[in-house]
Amino acid sequence: MKTERAYYDYTAAGPYRAEIRELRPLEQKPAKDKTDAPLVAVILDKTIFYPEGGGQGADRGSINGVPLLDVQESPSGEEILHLVNAADAAKLSPGPAELLLDTKRRRDLTVLHTAQHLLSGTILRLTGKHTVSMHLGEETCTIDVDTGGNPLEFSAETLIKVEEAAADAIEEDHPVIIHLCPPEDVKSFPLRKVPPQGEEVIRVVEIEGSDFSPCCGTHCKSTGQIGILRVLGAEKYKGMTRVTFIAGRRVLYDSRLLRQNGDLISRSLSVPVGETGKAVQALLEKTAKLERDIKAFEDAAAETKAAALLSRIGASGPAGAGSSGAGEGGAGTVLVETYPDTGIEEILRIGRAAQKKTAAVLALASEPDKKFAAFCSAKGADIRPLFKDALAAHQGKGGGGPGFFQGLFDSAEALAAFLADIRAAGVVPVATGSVK
């Protein structure tokens, strides 16, 4: 049996009386419902809850105190399915029911929907481009406009013009008129989009004199109720231009959030809120320069520490130039150094600088981080077997390639025992004594 639709004019917060006709376990859940919880469809004789459709989300509210999770039209379009948790449905039974509408959500969706008509109509009037589809999201709303494959159709100036024209229409408070007419009469309206086929009655929504659109959603009584419309931007989307917008109270929330952030930046940088963008840009440029300077200092310090390391452990000078054997500092010789107060990041820089100047294997450990990094640039060397086996023997974690290996231990003792094993290994086989 057809559910009577009483949702168009009903926006009151007070209870609405209806009859529960049936509680029907839902066999097929809506695709967007990702939960495992079974749902029950409550069938009413008449409803104040708008079912999802035409780009507008479903209403929320309650039936005899049971919260509504979703509202959908049945596949035939005759019935309206009010979806509730199966556990909650046990509290309901056929008979009289009190319906409560979440009026805040309804007003939000109604304002956004009417704003969408105004926006699409204004874009059409100012640019000649048609809206193809729309979506009212939980955060922002979008319309997709056919711009003939040109995503740059809407410049920033165009979007401001659209926004200003919409603001004028809101201030002028044009009535929004609903026409219910048979399909044969619909041609008398200059419709912005094609009406649905096979309907007995077509619902045409008019923003007085300026925009006519067939639509089944809920709408404000006049444009003034929209309050304000903000175009947030335009971008390329599937060969069209997607325009993002918000309206009504969402503009208030957005403005409040931006102001809170703007004030915080303004106080932090001691600049007026209107100049925070430029100030942040300048700060980022200054920071980038400082980072470049710091890196240059770190690299220079690493070179100095690498030279000190090589002379301390007797590995300075390319092994190919004089010490190509397996003796101290020569190719494949394993040299271990522990740093008691240097972090692994700095050790990595020292190791990278030092390996250019020796064919020995350098195993450098950070005591504070309980980590080590090993380097070997001798041709044909593969340090993995040595480090993998020793790592496993001391419950370390890590990995690497033929010429670089790193690892981490749970305790300083495990790291020390691991390093003692590496030191005892002494030599790794290499093909030649020269640095790659």
Site string for Zn ion, 394-423 (x = CB under 5 A): ------------------------------
Residues 369-398 that bind Zn ion (CB under 5 A): none
Number of residues that bind Zn ion (CB under 5 A): 3
Q: Residue 216 or 310: which CB sits closer to Zn ion? A: 216
Q: Residue 85 or 210: which CB sits closer to Zn ion? A: 210
Residue nearest to Zn ion (CB): 215
Q: Residue 8 or 237: which CB sits closer to Zn ion? A: 8
DSSP label at residue 51:
P
Q: How many CB atoms lie within 10 A of CB 363?
A: 27
3-state secondary structure labels for all residues of 3-34 = CEECCCCCCCCCCEEEEEEEEEECCCCCCCCC
d(C-alpha 46, C-alpha 18), whole Å:
6
Q: In whole angstroms, how far apart are CA 116 and each of 190, 212, 227, 240, 435?
A: 18, 12, 13, 17, 68
d(C-alpha 145, C-alpha 143), whole Å:
6
The upper half-sphere exposure of residue 252, i.e. CA atoms within 13 Å in the direction of its Cβ, equals: 5
Q: In whole angstroms, how far apart are CA 322 and each of 57, 354, 375, 433?
A: 79, 17, 20, 9
Using the rule CB under 5 A, give the single segment among 182-190, 216-224, 233-241, 423-431 that binds Zn ion: 216-224
Q: Does 215 bind Zn ion (CB under 5 A)?
A: yes
Report H helices in 39-155.
86-89, 103-127
Give the amino acid at 243: V
Q: Residue 53 or 224: which CB sits closer to Zn ion? A: 53
Q: Does 136 bind Zn ion (CB under 5 A)?
A: no
Using the rule CB under 5 A, give the single segment among 209-217, 244-252, 388-396, 420-428 that binds Zn ion: 209-217
Length of the chain: 436
Q: Does 123 bind Zn ion (CB under 5 A)?
A: no
Q: Residue 218 or 342: which CB sits closer to Zn ion? A: 218
Using the rule CB under 5 A, give the single segment among 207-215, 300-308, 318-326, 328-336 that binds Zn ion: 207-215
Q: Give the nearest distance from C-beta 50 to Zn ion in angstroms.
A: 11
Give the amino acid at 380: G
Q: Does 363 bind Zn ion (CB under 5 A)?
A: no
Q: What are phi and psi of 114, to 5 degrees?
A: -65, -40
Q: Give the nearest distance from C-beta 192 to Zn ion in angstroms.
A: 11
Q: Does 217 bind Zn ion (CB under 5 A)?
A: yes
Site string for Zn ion, 175-194 (x = CB under 5 A): --------------------
Residues 61-120 that bind Zn ion (CB under 5 A): 113
Q: Residue 45 or 73: which CB sits closer to Zn ion? A: 73
Tokens representing 149? 């494959």
Strand partners, 205: 178, 213
Residues forming contacts to Zn ion in the complex (CB under 5 A) are 113, 215, 217
